[in-house]
């Protein structure tokens, strides 16, 4: 088997050679001819299967070490499909810090269909085990959380889940298969907002579900076809293009993040940095991802600091070529009440940076000028 970076550039061989085209063409047709009715055909209808999307899905499966992978029109569509494996009366244990949209889907949508859910700190195996009930069917978590970047090891949780006959579902958005491959550590399903690292350019909404076993893959395929939220051929083409440079992009983001982190750590005005620790001792993670959060010593200056940045764009999302900055309390996590934010450890002054691929010196200079500005305005005040 080739190395990961090579597999990003070269997807698995398809049974068509597409006239030797070096990139899989975009097949826009929504219906496909039967050479002879009665004989099996690979494709008959676009929702059920499309050559552009299927080539991408083969590649995603290989990157995640999955029996099958399926591309969707957004991360939420992918998460919906994965959770649709459960049924009325099932009980689900989720990580305390999972993406807010996933909570909304579980509570306000699946709740109506009879699915119940409890949120637990998944770093605490005893707490997870204590939450298991006779009707618990799955554990769903993010191995690196947003925005506090807390790490839950995958293998011990997957082992616990299997001991109790539960599915382990991992949202791997914050890492991508370049930094972690949860199926190799015992997870059953991986979901992604491919809108982030996998597409990588803030121009495409997409999602992925990857399944460890052929039986699970068949069930996810059934849902993809039944619900009809599969990724368009144009989207599949864009996602395939993003994948080719995933390793290059993340290597640069990690190097930039390191420079930014070292700079911030040297600044007395920065009180705390949130980023995964003990990475060298963690065999599951090749890196901690391109997001870090911080608090200023004077939390009241967070807004002025963020508004002063020139190069970091004030926007939610992450994993793309451009560096972004946001205030979780006012943007990504604004749906939480102040009390819920406090319980989640999200202070009003918490700042989240999503690092891009710009020159590291420019990123550091931008942060430095914003810190200087805050310092000067404090002195002036």
Ligand X SMILES: Cc1ncc(COP(=O)(O)O)c(C=O)c1O
Catalytic residue among 91, 99, 140, 221: 99
**Are the C-beta atoms of 325 and 306 separated by less than 8 Å?**
yes
The CB-of-142 to ligand X minimum distance in angstroms stands at: 6
Three-state DSSP at 208 gives: strand
The CB-of-190 to ligand X minimum distance in angstroms stands at: 11
Closer of 140 and 185 to ligand X (Cβ)? 140
Closer of 27 and 110 to ligand X (Cβ)? 110
Distances (CA, A) of 314 to 229, 318, 330: 30, 11, 12
Residue from 207, 242, 289, 356 in contact with ligand X (CB under 6 A): 207
Catalytic residue among 90, 123, 171, 308: 171
Q: Is 330 a catalytic residue?
A: no
DSSP assignment of 36-93: STTS--S-SBTTT--HHHHHHHHHHHHHHT-SEEEEESSHHHHHHHHHTTS-TT-EEE
Whole-angstrom distance, CA of residue 255 vs CA of residue 263: 13
- For 252, list phi and psi in degrees, rounded to 5: -70, -40
Closer of 269 and 331 to ligand X (Cβ)? 331
Residue from 171, 284, 326, 360 in contact with ligand X (CB under 6 A): 171
Q: For the chain, how many helices (H) and strands (E)? A: 13, 12
Smallest CA-to-CA distance from 243 within 70, 61, 60 is with 60
| Strand order across the 324-326 sheet | 270-274, 291-296, 351-354, 324-326, 313-314
Catalytic residue among 96, 123, 196, 286: 196
232 lines the binding site for ligand X (CB under 6 A): no
Tokens 């699970």 — which residue? 216
Q: Which helix (H) or strand (E) holds 264?
A: helix 246-265
DSSP assignment of 174-193: TTHHHH--GGGGT-SEEEEE
150 lines the binding site for ligand X (CB under 6 A): no
Whole-angstrom distance, CA of residue 290 vs CA of residue 352: 11
Residue from 122, 136, 193, 249 in contact with ligand X (CB under 6 A): 193
Q: Is 196 a catalytic residue?
A: yes
Whole-angstrom distance, CA of residue 9 vs CA of residue 178: 13
329 lines the binding site for ligand X (CB under 6 A): no
Stretch of residues binding ligand X (CB under 6 A), selected from 58-66, 128-136, 169-177, 281-289? 169-177
The CB-of-207 to ligand X minimum distance in angstroms stands at: 6
Residue from 50, 195, 253, 301 in contact with ligand X (CB under 6 A): 195
Q: Is 171 a catalytic residue?
A: yes
Q: Is 314 a catalytic residue?
A: no
Q: How many residues bind ligand X (CB under 6 A)?
A: 14
284 lines the binding site for ligand X (CB under 6 A): no
Pairing of strands 207-211, 270-274: unpaired
User: Among all residues, whose Cβ is closest to ligand X?
Assistant: 75
274 lines the binding site for ligand X (CB under 6 A): no
* 40-79: contacts with ligand X (CB under 6 A): 74-76
The CB-of-181 to ligand X minimum distance in angstroms stands at: 17
115 lines the binding site for ligand X (CB under 6 A): no
Pairing of strands 136-141, 91-95: parallel
323 lines the binding site for ligand X (CB under 6 A): no
Closer of 144 and 371 to ligand X (Cβ)? 144
Catalytic residue list: 47, 99, 171, 196
Which positions touch ligand X (CB under 6 A)?
74-76, 99, 101, 142, 146, 171, 173-174, 193, 195, 205, 207
């Amino acid at each position: 088997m080739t190395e990961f970076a090579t597999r990003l550039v070269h997807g698995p061989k398809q049974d068509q050679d597409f006239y030797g085209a070096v990139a899989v063409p975009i097949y826009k047709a929504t219906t496909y001819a039967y050479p002879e009715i009665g004989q099996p055909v690979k494709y008959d209808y676009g929702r059920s299967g499309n050559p552009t999307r299927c080539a991408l899905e083969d590649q995603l499966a290989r990157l995640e070490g999955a029996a099958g992978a399926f591309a969707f029109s957004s991360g939420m569509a992918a998460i919906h499909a994965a959770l649709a494996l459960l049924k009325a009366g099932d009980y689900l244990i989720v990580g305390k810090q999972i993406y807010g949209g996933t909570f909304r889907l579980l509570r306000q949508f699946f709740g109506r269909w009879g699915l119940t859910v409890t949120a637990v700190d998944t770093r605490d195996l005893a707490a997870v085990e204590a939450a298991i009930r006779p009707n618990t069917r799955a554990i769903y978590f993010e191995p690196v959380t947003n925005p506090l970047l807390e790490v839950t090891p995958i293998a011990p949780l997957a082992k616990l889940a299997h001991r109790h006959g539960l599915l382990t579902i991992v949202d791997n958005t914050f890492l991508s298969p370049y930094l972690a491959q949860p199926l190799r550590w015992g997870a059953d399903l991986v979901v992604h907002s491919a809108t982030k690292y996998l597409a990588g350019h803030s121009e495409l909404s997409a999602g992925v579900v990857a399944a460890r076993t052929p039986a699970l893959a068949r069930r996810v395929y059934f849902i993809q076809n039944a619900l009809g939220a599969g990724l368009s051929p144009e989207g599949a083409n864009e996602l395939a293009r993003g994948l080719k440079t995933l390793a290059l992009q993340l290597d640069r983001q990690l190097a930039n993040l390191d420079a930014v982190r070292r700079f911030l750590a040297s600044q007395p005005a920065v009180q705390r940095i949130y980023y995964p620790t003990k990475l060298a001792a963690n065999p599951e993670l090749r890196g901690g991802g391109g997001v870090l959060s911080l608090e200023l010593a004077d939390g009241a200056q967070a807004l002025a600091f963020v508004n002063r940045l020139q190069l970091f764009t004030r926007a939610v999302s992450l994993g793309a070529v451009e560096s972004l900055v946001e205030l979780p309390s006012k943007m990504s996590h604004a749906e939480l009440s102040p009390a819920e934010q406090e319980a989640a450890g999200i202070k009003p002054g918490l700042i989240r940076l999503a690092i891009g691929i710009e020159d590291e010196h420019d990123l550091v200079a931008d942060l430095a000028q914003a810190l200087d500005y805050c310092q000067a305005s404090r002195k002036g005040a």
